[in-house]
Amino acid sequence: MGQVLDRIEVVAEEIRGQAVESETACRLTDTAARLLRDSGAIRLLQPKLYGGIEAHPREFAETVMGIAALDGASGWVAGVVGVHPWELAFADPRVQQEIWSENYDTWIASPYAPMGIATPVDGGYVLTGRWSFSSGTDHCQWAFLGAMVGDGEGGVAMPPSSLHVILPRVDYQIVGDSWDVIGLRGTGSKDLIVDGAFIPSHRTLDAWKVMDGRAQKEAGRSEPLYNMPYSCMFPLGITSAVIGIAEGALACHIAAQKDRVAITGQKIKEDPYVLSAIGESAAEINASRVSLIETAERFYDKLDAGKEITFEERAIGRRTQIAAAWRAVRALDEIFTRAGGGALRYSTPMQRFWRDAHAGLAHAVHVPGPTNHASALTQLGVEPQGMMRAMI
């Protein structure tokens, strides 16, 4: 077990106990955020130079799973906010200093989707736009935001190019009432608005270079951790949270069935169909965990040996990651439908795990079609083009 996960185990009941209040508030409670902060979960992928741990991606994934099994929202924030220090590690050293020089526990929000326009001006860009789904944003002081480079007339410059821009909280507005949803309510994934903020060039990264690994190399990062593919690391946190939520639901289900008696008077322990569903679902959720971690381990080992990760490997890795999330949620559905009417009560965590898992599956990194298509084309010797290469 990793050092951070050891700390999480000590405060497990406290994390679990914050779930209802976080869901009601549509954001992590200050206590839930403090527990994550004190554990070091958000610093797992952060450079040691700035108080980070530079953990193996496996430890990051296992820690996110462990937190999500206690509370889906806390696990989700640990996975999403926790990956941002990884990218900041190969951003301009000046912005690293701006963010971490006074407080190693400064958190950074997102999203990366290019929902804004960054218009070039002397020394940088002027950024305008509105972004949805900024998980954990109430507890963050900076944000990574995706933006298309503008043409100076309100449109997108051609050929299109995109940036990841980094800006402090004073430059964006959090829309307080923009996160009223059915699942993952406690993540507080609210909208952000930027209205003409100046972004100096040193606070930007070329999004395409981040995706294909050039940004890491140009920054001089030689460590295997920081040369992991973006298309592995960013989804790793999100899918780990979904798998952890499924694991939490399974544990909740098993605990509830131990003394349950069906309306027929039969003990659930004697119902072969319920028992079979538990066994099959447990195996499927574990398979999801194993397959996701195996990809990250294999990529890390290959980089550590001085080799490159090919586009085909990245595409297959993304396919495996997506399949892991869907497999885990399908397994959760199997046990939820056999959990009895009591699982529907808001007083039990089972229904929250179920809602959170389905909300997590709706994330863009879990859309299977294009990635399955691209990975199959690549294995058939055809080079995917255009959007078929997105997020790979």
Range of the domain at 64: 3-100
CA distance 136 to 140: 7
For residue 217, being part of any structural domain is answered with no
- Residue 191 makes CB contacts below 8 A (sequence gap 6+) with 130, 131, 132, 133, 134, 174, 175, 178, 179
Same domain, 145 and 87: no
Residues 92 and 142 in one domain: no
Report the pLDDT value the prediction gives residue 2, as an integer from 0 to 100. Answer: 85
Give the chain's domain count.
3
Q: How many CA atoms lie within 13 A of 331 on its CB side?
A: 30
Same domain, 199 and 85: no
CATH of the domain at 194: 2.40.110.10
CB 41 within 8 A of CB 48: no
- pLDDT given for residue 143 in this prediction: 98
CATH number at residue 329: 1.20.140.10
Give per-residue pLDDT as tens, 181-198: 999 999 999 999 999 999
**Closest CA relative to residue 11, chosen from 77, 66, 81, 78:** 66
Same domain, 235 and 349: yes
Q: What is the CATH number of the domain that holds 12?
A: 1.10.540.10
SS3 102: coil
Both structure tokens of 210: 């981040």
- Phi, psi at 92, each rounded to 5°: -60, 135
Please report the pLDDT score of residue 1 as a whole number: 58
Please tell me whether residues 167 and 248 are part of one structural domain. Answer: no
Instruction: Say if 28 falls within a structural domain.
Output: yes
Q: Which two tokens stand for residue 139?
A: 């507890």
How far is 387 from 390, CA to CA, in rounded Å? 5
**CA dist., res. 74 & res. 64, Å (int):** 9
- The whole-number pLDDT of residue 294 equals 98
pLDDT score, position 137: 98
- Residue in the structure block whose two tokens are 């990062």: 221
* 161 lies in the same domain as 131: yes
Tell me, what's the pLDDT at 142? 98
Angle at 232 between CA 231 and CA 233, to 5 degrees: 100
Quick one: 247 and 351 in the same domain? yes
Tell me which residues of the chain have a pLDDT lower than 70.
1
Q: Residue 213 falls within a domain, yes or no?
A: no
User: Do 282 and 385 fall within a single domain?
Assistant: yes
